Structure 1
Amino acid sequence: MLEKGDIDALYSAIAPEPYLRGSRKVKTLFENYVEVEKEYFRKTKIFPIMHLVVIRRELYERHPWIAINLYK
């Protein structure tokens, strides 16, 4: 679904198969994530988060309570 564009992002502990085989359509959020993490820590002394959760805008606009419930 990710490679076909049916979904925009994936949150998974396991790298998706298209990423592992080198698909040009599937990549990490930051291509140079190791350097980005090191630079962020150097500047802030805070280790950056490793995950993110997204909500489709139309879903959030219909149900604004969903964001805080996901956070909790």
Structure 2
Amino acid sequence: MGDSDSTAIDPSFNGSLKVEGRSEKLTCHAGLVLLREMDERLGLTTSLASKLVDERSPMRVQHSLTQMLRTV
């Protein structure tokens, strides 16, 4: 099983997730969660989005520039 002294990370962008280092292979997507958490804490994507000019009509916008940059 897992180590009793393992360090868990609770991502700030999604409180329902918990990332723990264990010897078992549970998922290959944990690295993406850690990258997203790093982006949230450093504000890299938000900073980049603030530098862009959004010429879209505000009435038609469904996703912010930050959200769209995260999907690229």
TM-score norm. by structure 1 comes to: 0.26
**Which protein shows a greater Rg?**
2
Q: Which has the higher contact order (CA 8 A, sep 6+)?
A: 2
Higher strand proportion, which one? 2
Q: TM-score, normalised by structure 2?
A: 0.26
Which structure: greater helix fraction? 2
